[in-house]
Amino acid sequence: MTVTPNDPLVIVEPSTDTPLVWFDVAIRGGAAADPLGAEGLHRHAALLARRGAGSRDRAQLDETLDGLGASIDVALSRDSVTLSGLALSRHLPAALELAADVLAAPRWDEGEHARLLRETPQILDEVRDDDGALATRWFDWLCCPGHPYGRTSLGTAKSLARIAEDGRDAAIELWRREVVTGNLVIGLAGDVDEARAHELAARLVARLPRGARLEEPTVPALRTRPARAVLVDKPDRTQAQLRIGHVSARYGDPDTPALAIAEAALGGMFSSRLMQEIRVKRGWSYGAGCALRRSRLPHWFEIWTAAAIDVAGPAVALVRELYTDYAARGPSDDEVDFARSYLVGAMPFHVATARQRMQLAVRDAVFDLPAGYTARLPEALAGLAASDVRAACARHMHPAHSVTVAVTTADHARAALEAAHAGALEVVAHDAY
Amino acid sequence: MTSSWTLEAEASTGFGASARRWRLGNGLGLIAAIDRRAPIVALQTWFRVGSRHERPGATGMAHLFEHLMFGQTEGLPPGELDRLIERTGGETNAATWVDWTYYKMSLPARDLPLGVRLEAERMQHLVLEPVPVEAERDVVTNERRERVEDDVDGWLDEQLMAHAFTQHPYRWPTIGWMEDIRALALPEIRAFYRTWYAPNNATIVCVGDFDDGELLALIARHYGSIPPAAVPSMPGVVEPEQTRERVVRAPKPIATDRLLVGYKAPGQDDPDWAVLEIVATLLAGCPSARLHRKLVIEREAASSVDAQLTPFRDPSLLRLAVTTARGHRADEVIAEIDRELAALREHPPAAAEVEKAKALAETDFWSALVDVDGKAEALGHYETALGDFRRLGVIAERLTAVTADDVARVVRSHLVPARRTIVIAEPDEAAEEADEDDGDAE
């Protein structure tokens, strides 16, 4: 079979372990491709498409899917919108037919458009009610102003007002532009054989326009900024939810294997430095860790913890001290060996099920990485010297430019956070964004 | 000599090889199920001790062990257990609930002997000294701050159980009351370990890529010499019949009302539990569910509604969790719940609606058994909470047999206002003022 640039990429992972099939349809684009000022448009379009398609309105579509014991959910990331489905294998053709309707023939119901606009601010309320989610929302916004990943996938009061004005037409146009054969990555995993899966995938996209993939969004030239700290003031907190970090490398950067080791040694395991220093030695928090977010463009390197409010200031100071030392010196030889051993040994757990293998492969494809990139990372890890890891730390870890976000109660924590010298401290109301 | 095995039970798991339960001479149980699709194993040790085995004033004890058991043993310095497992690429964790505590290891298959050795070591040689106990006490208090004090959903959950139960130990939270966590005394902590952490109070569950004979020999070698303990039989506590509705309200820094409605429900082994599981799906378990459609879609009175039937050994709750929409209050949501339940009481659902819920239950059943960890958790839960891993299959069969008349019957008998407790978190004054100023800083 010849695959052209206008064909979708189809990934199949058969398994007869259970009578289930998972299917993902990743549409390249995602929140990073939202137009400026219309943040939340991809989410709005995808949810609206799911609320009635083909001959079925929302209620009929829900009823039909539920009757099959199946589901089709919308997942939004910075880089893609994904329709994620699950069905008993005996109902797979029927479930995929419904997914094909969602892709090819959304009804773009006016009533659902208006309802979604009423619902989204309430989802925002729920984010504000959850300290961890609220800390992440503020951190995403403040980490690197101007970066496409700084755009909220949910939207803001202003952007939702704009979507209310012309969002239905914009959603239709977005869907017409992005839901084309060449812009899709399709994965099927579970109780379906390879030939049948390809046949069903062909039917899934048969009614879609043929077209090429979306152009990659670009990251504008970004200014280097001094460290800053923001206290997101929320009443009656007993802890401070903390996020500390900055923009760093993309997943797939030549330094990705080295950074995976650096990430694991600093905060990816229970034995890592952050967990040992913050939880084990001091008992300041239930947990602490770090992550280099996996995305197609350069994304955040982020340290997280939730410290008791009376030690919030010392916790920020300690994290900054640890991170500054780590960025400058990197992990020790022993830490590199340990983290490498952990990461290589852990890979079989990430590819143990057909669903996991399919989802990793779909993600790699959305990130434009070679097939099998993630599954082959252990080979790359094996060839790294400790000095390679330390050099990668020096290139991609920038504590002097970190943003610190603390969701806590200003009356109790402000002075201590100011004393932590995490940069100029600004206090904002928790519902100001 | 305690190191001889007896095969007690064997049953198809529905996912390939059958599971077998073996018993060692000292009472240790072993459930083994081979799954060779990946070179990994799930090794879990389930203890028949949970928060129900605590006394008032010492709540949180079972959960504290979930932390302490990763500490120093006579043969392992502090932190060594985690380091040994992480060096293999494996992961280790634990969970505590009302009826059980279990310790899990996900290991490369070749490292199964290491996992067995470490589990046997901490079952018998845990070092409980003041410094590590105090350190973990601090960690647990911070865990509680994060999951309860600063989390409205955690607070709602805790208050629901505290008010729904007046006598049964299910009334206190698994993590424990803060004042109890702070007061747990070292002698009682040590006694708790000696009492409950014994081979005759445990079941090892192993699912994955291993050889049956080698596993039996390995476990017998490491556990065979551990003597059984005198595990107390706890007197059953019968919660008095609830005869009137209980309602609790409290202000919280949230934007809209959040509520939990808990109806008294039977234990998981009662035949009606499976019927109520179908009822939970019909009410709020899928996009076309009755309460979701009515509250979220038609009336837009809620932003979310969810239903959960707790899988406890003794009678517990069917819980409805609702977040109200802006401009709507908890009372109108409760009225709508009452209307839907009245409709179900008076008119059994159509057969197609019940079949829909059963299809979803079938999907859920298999979804929980996709990986070796999920399979081990299912086997361990049924063995520990209900006394026999084969109840997994029995309950799956009960779900397929539910009828529309069953649904109407259990709604009539269980889901009535007099048998429910409602906890409502309401926006406090500060949050309401903030709502009025809701702006956008961008």
Q: Is A306 in Cβ contact with B106 (below 8 Å)?
A: no
DSSP E strands, B335-441: 420-427
How far is B136 from B125, CA to CA, in rounded Å? 18
Structure tokens at A136: 């992440």
- Say yes or no for a CB contact (<8 Å) between B370 and A18: yes
Contact B162, B246 (CB under 8 A): no
Mutate to test the interface with B, among A276, A280, A281 (most CBs of B within 10 A): A280
Q: State whether B255 and A70 contact (CB < 8 Å).
A: no
Task: Tell me how close the Cα of B234 comes to any Cα of chain A, in angstroms.
Answer: 32
Going along chain B from its start, the domains and CATH numbers come out as 5-223 (3.30.830.10), 246-436 (3.30.830.10)
Q: State what percent of residues in chain A have pLDDT above 70.
A: 99
Tell me if chain B has a CB within 8 Å of the CB of A120. Answer: no
Query: Does the structure show a pLDDT above 50 at B257?
Result: yes
Element (H, E) at A339: helix A333-350
pLDDT range class, residue A3, cuts 50, 70, 90: low
Nearest residue on chain B to A67, alpha-carbon basis:
B356
Please indicate whether, in this complex, the C-beta atoms of B303 and A341 are within 8 angstroms of each other.
no
Task: Work out the pLDDT band at A409, boundaries 50, 70, 90.
Answer: very high
In this predicted structure, the answer to whether residue A76 has a pLDDT above a threshold of 90 is: yes
Give the mean pLDDT of B142-171: 97
What is the token pair recorded at A278? 């913050």
The mean pLDDT of B240-245, rounded to a whole number, is 97
Question: Over 90: is that where the pLDDT of A345 sits?
Answer: yes
Write down the pLDDT at residue B154.
Answer: 97
Question: Which chain A residues touch B437 with a CB distance below 8 Å?
Answer: 429, 431
pLDDT digits (tens, 9 = 90+) for B258-304: 999 999 999 999 999 999 999 999 999 999 999 999 999 999 999 99
Cβ B438–A431 below 8 Å, yes or no? yes
Helix axes A58-67, B351-367, angle to 10 degrees: 60
ipTM greater than 0.85, yes or no? yes
* pLDDT, mean of residues A6-22: 95
* Chain B interface includes A344 (CB < 8 A): yes
Q: A198-253, pLDDT tens digit by residue? A: 999 999 999 999 999 988 777 777 777 889 999 999 999 999 999 999 999 999 99
Task: Over range A68-73, report the average pLDDT.
Answer: 98
- Nearest Cα of chain A lies from the Cα of B123 at a distance, in angstroms, of 21
User: Is B48's pLDDT higher than 80?
Assistant: yes
Phi, psi of A319 (to 5 degrees): -60, -45
pLDDT, residue A215, reads 82
Please check whether residue A133 touches B, CB under 8 A: no
Confidence of residue B307 (pLDDT cuts 50, 70, 90): very high
Give contacts of A 163-222 with B, CB under 8 A.
none
Distance from CA of A146 to the nearest CA of B (A): 12
Give the A window 249-268 contacts with B, CB below 8 Å. Answer: none
- For A227, the token pair is 């460290």
CB contact under 8 A, A307 and B142: yes
DSSP symbol at A90: G
Kindly state the average pLDDT of the residues B314-334: 97
Instruction: Say yes or no: A32 contacts chain B, CB-CB below 8 A.
Output: no
The whole-angstrom separation of Cα B113 and Cα A369 is 37
Chains A and B form CB pairs within 8 A to the count of 208
Distance CA B420, CA B261 (A): 7
3-state secondary structure (DSSP) of residue B414: helix
Domains identified in chain A and CATH numbers:
9-205 (3.30.830.10), 228-429 (3.30.830.10)
pLDDT surpasses 50 at B171: yes
Residue B440, pLDDT above cutoff 60: no
Among B352, B356, B366, beta carbon nearest to A18: B366
Number of other CB atoms surrounding residue A300 within 10 Å: 22
Looking at residue A424, its pLDDT comes to: 86
The pair of structure tokens assigned to B354 is 């019940």
Instruction: Give the residue with greater pLDDT, B442 vs B238.
Output: B238
Residues B72 and B78: their CA atoms lie apart, in Å, by 4
CA dihedral A183, A187, A193, A197 (to 10 degrees): -30
What pLDDT is attached to residue B15?
60
Per-residue pLDDT at A408 exceeds 90: yes
Which tokens belong to A387? 């000095």
Confidence (pLDDT) at B13: 76
Query: Which among B139, B289, B434 is the nearest to A286, CB-wise?
Result: B139
CA distance, residue A311 to nearest chain B CA (Å): 11
Say yes or no to pLDDT of B441 above 90.
Answer: no
Whether B142 and A158 lie within 8 Å, measured CB to CB: no
Name residues 91-110 of chain A within 8 A of B (Cβ): 91
Residues of A within 8 A of B138 (CB-CB) are: 282-284
Q: What is the mean pLDDT of residues B200-204?
A: 98
Confidence of residue B1 (pLDDT cuts 50, 70, 90): very low
Mutate to test the interface with A, among B93, B111, B146 (most CBs of A within 10 A): B146
Which residues of chain A have a CB within 8 Å of the CB of B286?
62, 66, 71
Query: CB-CB: which of B135, B145, B256 is closest to A125?
Result: B256
Among the partner-chain residues A68, A235, A345, the one whose CB lies closest to the CB of B253 is A235
pLDDT for residue A127 is more than 90: yes
Give the gap in angstroms from C-alpha A5 to the nearest C-alpha of chain B.
34
Band of residue A422 on the pLDDT scale cut at 50, 70, 90: confident
Taking an 8 Å cut-off on Cβ atoms, the answer to whether A238 and B149 are in contact is: yes
Q: Is the pLDDT of residue A184 over 90?
A: yes
Average pLDDT, chain B: 94
CA distance B383 to A194: 38
Task: Report the gap between the CA of B82 and the closest CA in chain A (Å).
Answer: 7
CB contact A73 to B (< 8 Å) = no
Q: Is the pLDDT of residue A390 over 60?
A: yes
> Does the pLDDT at position A141 exceed 60?
yes
Tell me what the mean pLDDT of segment A104-128 comes to.
95
Q: Which of B108, B150, B435 is the closest to A237 by Cβ?
A: B150
pLDDT at A288 over 90: yes
Q: Select from B366, B375, B392, B432 the residue whose CB has the most chain A CBs within 10 Å, as the one to mutate to test that interface.
A: B366
- pLDDT computed for residue B435 by the predictor: 45
Strand partners, B31: B21, B205
Interface test with A, best of B142, B145, B300, B322 (most A CBs within 10 A): B142
Find the range with the poorest average confidence among B19-33, B222-236, B425-439: B425-439
**CA trace torsion B258, B263, B269, B271 (10° rounding):** -120
